[in-house]
């Protein structure tokens, strides 16, 4: 079957066309995957500004749809792109699509609604079923499919339980997975998400948004440490607590206090920024890895599945692989938000019969996976 997927939960407007088949062993082919990034717009705010993100989604959705339809060779709508048709009044002939999948949460409510309303209009115009998708499940299943060169997912008992660490700008969750569609949150952040910590500490250091890649790049410049470069060791919040929860706001505050007390010339020095970046990155990685390995041991996890934007971090990937011998790591472009992951998760929801009348689908900003 051919699925059109729409994802607008945060600051990227994403559309994809995915071909899916199989039940126990499901196979996917991504026919087109478009990400219309808003990074440049949000950069000056140092984070995502929801009203701006929603405005951009409204602008970008239709061109993104036309692009994926063209790119996947399902239809050819080039003439429509050049005519600049209006966003709410467009009428597109029905392409060869069987299902529409859309993210309903968790995420920024106004952004979610923009994608949902767009998907509803298409479902109504084309008389197609619409499946709601949980963004976090999208990350998990994208990791599972993306780590296989043929984009296959085998939903067999022998691969589970798995412990999933989903780390992004909005979420940090440890999820016990007993199979596709069988999840339990066993730990999560009590305040900031890990990606948010990267973004906010990067801003304190004067690095650009998004902070994760900026911190990783600065940290990579330090190959060995000399005494003067080492900043005060930063805290590893909740590292030794027996639960699987996280907390990152104290780390951010520790960085803020450290930098605040310094002279302007000192805190602008490249070596200082690089050393701080390395220490921030390591503090975040230490906590993520320790809690994830503990969960994997306690729950006898056969695999650890990493997903979400922070899972693109090379040091995290390298270090977790050294600690556990069965870590599922998707390619980096499958870690950050995209709509192909929503198409993949949408397919499994459709297999379970979760298509709803499009009228009933609504945004759920705080949706929890289960």
Interacting residue ranges for ligand KG4, rule: CB under 6 A = 10, 168-170, 195, 198-199, 210-213, 216, 308-310, 312-313, 336-337
The two tokens of residue 241 are: 């607590």
Residue 226 Cβ, how far from Zn ion at the closest point, in Å? Answer: 38
Question: Which strand ranges, in their side-by-side order, compose the sheet holding 172-179?
Answer: 182-188, 172-179, 162-167, 303-307, 327-328
The DSSP code for 152 is E
Q: What is the dihedral of CA 194, 10, 153, 244, to 10 degrees?
A: 30
Q: Residue 137, interface with Zn ion (CB under 5 A)?
A: no
Per partner kind, with CB cut-offs from 5 to 8 A, the member of Zn ion, ligand KG4, none near residue 216 is ligand KG4
Residue 161's binding partner out of ligand KG4, Zn ion, none, with CB under 5 to 8 Å set by partner kind: none
358 binds, among ligand KG4, Zn ion, none (CB under 5 to 8 A by kind): none
Q: What's the token pair of residue 99?
A: 């299902």
Q: How crowded is the C-beta side of 264, counted as CA atoms within 13 Å? A: 0
Burial zone of 353 (CB within 10 Å; 0-12 exposed, 13-18 middle, 19+ buried): exposed
Least separation in angstroms between residue 251's CB and ligand KG4 is 14
**Nearest CB to Zn ion, comparing residues 97 and 193:** 193
Residue 183 or 198 having the CB closest to ligand KG4: 198
- Assess contact for 218 and 277: CB atoms under 8 A: yes
Please give the span between the terminal C-alpha atoms of the chain, in angstroms, as a whole number: 26
Q: Which residues of 55-79 are buried (b: 16+ CB within 10 A; e: fewer)?
A: bbbbebbbbbbbbbbbebebbebee
Part of the chain binding Zn ion (CB under 5 A), chosen from 22-30, 95-103, 165-173, 279-287? 165-173
Instruction: Residue 105: name its binding partner from Zn ion, ligand KG4, none (Cβ under 5 to 8 Å by kind).
Output: none
# binding residues, Zn ion (CB under 5 A): 2
- Which one, 105 or 187, has the nearer CB to ligand KG4? 105
β-strand 25-36 against 130-134: which pairing, if any? unpaired
CB of 160 to ligand KG4, least distance (A): 23
What's the closest the beta carbon of residue 51 comes to ligand KG4, in angstroms? Answer: 18
In angstroms, give the least distance from the CB of 263 to ligand KG4: 28
The least CB distance from residue 170 to ligand KG4, in Å, is 4
Using alpha carbons, list the distances in angstroms from residue 34 to 31, 74, 118, 136, 270. 10, 15, 16, 19, 36
Q: Which is nearer to ligand KG4, 301 or 308 (CB)?
A: 308
Pick one of Zn ion, ligand KG4, none as the site partner of residue 211 (Cβ within 5 to 8 A by kind): ligand KG4
Alpha helices by DSSP H, listed for 156-269, are 194-204, 211-220, 249-260, 264-267
| Residues 166-195 within binding reach of Zn ion (CB under 5 A) | 168
Among 207, 248, 337, 338, binds Zn ion (CB under 5 A): 337
Instruction: Please give the residue ranges that form the binding site for Zn ion (CB under 5 A).
Output: 168, 337
């Amino acid at each position: 079957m051919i699925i059109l997927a729409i994802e607008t939960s945060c600051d990227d407007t994403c559309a994809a066309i995915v071909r899916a088949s199989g039940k126990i062993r499901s196979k996917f082919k991504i026919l087109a995957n478009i990400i219309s990034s808003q990074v440049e717009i949000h950069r000056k705010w140092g984070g995502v500004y929801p009203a701006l993100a929603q405005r951009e989604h409204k602008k970008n959705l239709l061109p993104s749809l036309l692009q994926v339809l063209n790119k996947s060779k399902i239809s050819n709508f080039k003439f429509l792109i050049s005519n600049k048709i209006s966003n709410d009044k467009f009428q597109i002939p029905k392409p060869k699509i069987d299902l529409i999948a859309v993210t309903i949460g968790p995420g920024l409510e106004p952004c979610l609604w923009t994608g949902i309303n767009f998907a509803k209009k298409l479902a109504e115009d084309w008389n197609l079923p619409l499946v709601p998708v949980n963004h976090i499940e999208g990350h998990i299943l994208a990791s599972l499919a993306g780590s296989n060169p043929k984009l296959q997912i085998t939903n067999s008992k022998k691969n589970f339980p798995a412990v999933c660490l989903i780390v992004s700008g909005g979420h940090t969750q440890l999820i016990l997975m007993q199979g596709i569609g069988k999840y339990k949150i066993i730990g999560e952040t009590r305040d900031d998400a890990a990606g948010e910590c990267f973004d906010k500490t990067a801003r304190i250091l004067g690095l650009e948004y998004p902070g994760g890649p900026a911190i990783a790049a600065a940290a990579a410049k330090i190959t060995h440490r000399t005494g003067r470069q080492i900043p005060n060791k930063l805290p590893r919040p909740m590292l030794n607590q027996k639960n699987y929860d996280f907390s990152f706001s104290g780390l951010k505050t520790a960085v803020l206090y450290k930098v605040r007390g310094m002279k302007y010339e000192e805190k602008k020095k490249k070596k200082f920024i690089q050393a701080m970046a390395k220490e921030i990155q390591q503090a975040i990685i230490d906590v993520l890895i320790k809690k994830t390995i503990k969960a994997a041991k306690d729950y006898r996890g056969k695999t650890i599945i990493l997903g979400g934007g922070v899972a693109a971090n090379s040091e995290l990937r390298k270090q977790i692989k050294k600690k556990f011998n069965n870590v599922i790591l998707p390619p980096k472009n499958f870690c950050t938000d995209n709509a192909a992951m929503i198409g993949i998760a949408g397919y499994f929801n459709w297999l379970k019969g979760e298509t709803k009348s499009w009228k009933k689908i609504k945004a759920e900003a705080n949706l929890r996976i289960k």
